[in-house]
Amino acid sequence: MTELKNDLLLKALLREPTERTPLWIMRQAGRYLPEYREVRAQAGDFMSLCRNPELACEVTMQPLRRYKLDAAILFSDILTVPDALGLGLYFEAGEGPKFERPVQSTAQIGKLAVPDVSETLGYVFDAVRTIRRELDGQVPLIGFAGSPWTVGTYMVEGGSSREFPIIKGLAAEAPAALDSMLDIVARTTTEYLNAQVEAGAQAIMIFDTWGSALERDDYLRFSLAPMQKIVDGLTRQNEGRRIPVILFTKGAGVLLKDMVATGCDALGVDWTTSLADARQYTGDKVALQGNLDPATLRESPEVIRQGVADTLASYGKGPGHVFNLGHGVTPDIDPDHVAVLVDAVHELSPQYH
C-alpha cells in the first residue's frame, strides 16, 4: 500500500497532536461545483453516477483539485443500503429520493433480509478501490453510511419527510417490529462498512441526520442503539492503522454525552451546539468535527473568515478538532467562498496547536 502523505485527519480523529487543524467539508463533491454538474449530466442521473466507479472517483477528486482539503469522502449516498434491501431507490427531479416499495407494515418488515453486500453493493467497493488508486496516498479516504434510524425514515416514509408520521406511528404501536427492521439495516450496514474498509476506506462516518427528531428515550432505543451495534461490529484496524469512527447526529446537543459511550472515536457537531459546550459534554474523550453554519458561506469573505476564527476559538487549544461545516454545503454556494473558508482554516488554526 502507498504511504499516506497527509495523515492530519486520522491523527486529529484519534486526538493526537497536529501542527494545524485538518479540514474537509460535508458534501464537498456536489452541485455547487460546475465541474460536478457537468459529470452528473454526463452520467444522466445521480444513481448512475454512484454506480459508475470511474465517474464516482472523478467527482470525489474534484474538490481536492480546487482546495487544500485533508480528506476525500467516497461519492455515494446513504440510501444505497435500502436499495440493496430491495426497496427500489429512484430520484424524482426536484423532489429528492423516493422508494418504489416502502416498508410500511409489520408484514413487510417480516419479509426483509440482510442481502449479500458484495453482490448488491459491489459498485461502491469498486469505487472505493478506484478512488484509493487515484488518491495515491495524497489524503485519507472517508467511507460512510447512514444510521439505521435515518435510513429507516426514508424506507418507511417512502422519501424525505418533515414530521415522520408513519415511522413514528410504528415506534408507538409496533416498537418490536421497528427494532427488527432497524436490526436488519444495522447488520447490513456493518457488512457494508467493513467491505468499504477492506476496499480501502481509512475512516468511517455514520450520518444520523434525523435522530434528534426523536424524544430522548426513543433516540436511545431507535437511533443510538442501532448505531452502537454497528460500532461494535466494525473493523477498527486495517493496513496497520486504526480506522477512526465518527458518529454524527445532527442537532444532538446534550445527546453528545450519550454518544460518547458507544466507543466511537469522534462526534460530528452541528452549529446549534458550540464546540466549547460539546467539549464539556464529551470531557475530551472523543474528537469533535464541525461546526460552522453552512449559511455563513453565503456571506462576504470577511464574515466567513470571522466565522472560521470563532469556530476555532470555540474549540480552543489542543488536539482533537476536525474543522467542518455543521451540515452539508448547499448547491447555491459560490465555490470561491469555499476557498476563503479553506484558506482561513490553514492560516488561523496553527496558533491552537
Give the footprint of ligand CP3 on this chain (CB under 6 A). 26-31, 40, 46, 73, 75, 77-79, 96-97, 144, 146, 160, 207, 209, 328
Say whether 31 is catalytic: yes
**Given 7, 70, 77, 265, the catalytic residue:** 77
Beta-ladder partners of 322: 289
Return the number of the residue (115 or 159) whose C-beta is nearest ligand CP3: 159
**Minimum CB distance to ligand CP3, residue 148 (Å):** 13
Residue whose beta carbon is closest to ligand CP3 = 209
Q: Minimum CB separation from ligand CP3 for residue 135, in Å?
A: 15
The cell for 112 is: 426483509
The CA distance from 192 to 236, in Å, is 14
Choice between 14 and 206, CB closer to ligand CP3: 206
Give the type of residue at 112.
L
Nearest-approach distance from CB 351 to ligand CP3, in angstroms? 28
HEC profile of 7-69: CHHHHHHCCCCCCCCCECCCCCCCCCCHHHHHHHHHHCCHHHHHHCHHHHHHHHHHHHHHCCC
The answer to whether residue 40 is catalytic is yes
CB of 74 to ligand CP3, least distance (A): 7
Active-site residue, selected from the candidate residues 32, 36, 67, 154: 154
Contact of 74 with 127, CB cutoff 8 Å: yes
Q: Choose, from 31, 66, 221, 242, the residue flagged as catalytic.
A: 31
Whether 236 is catalytic: no
How far is it, in rounded angstroms, from Cα 72 to Cα 233? 24
Q: What are phi and psi of 97, to 5 degrees?
A: -75, 150
Q: Is 101 a catalytic residue?
A: no
Residue of 203, 249, 244, 256 whose CA lies nearest to 227 = 249
Active-site residue flag, 27: yes
What's the closest the beta carbon of residue 131 comes to ligand CP3, in angstroms?
A: 11
The residue (of 31 and 298) whose beta carbon lies closer to ligand CP3 is 31
Q: Which of 15, 20, 40, 279 is catalytic?
A: 40
Closer to ligand CP3 by CB, 36 or 177: give it: 36
In the complex with ligand CP3, the residue whose CB is nearer, 79 or 256, is 79
H-state helical runs in the chain: 8-13, 34-43, 46-51, 53-66, 80-84, 106-110, 117-120, 122-135, 148-157, 165-173, 175-199, 216-218, 225-233, 256-260, 275-282, 301-315, 335-348
Which residues are catalytic, by number?
Answer: 27, 31, 40, 77, 154
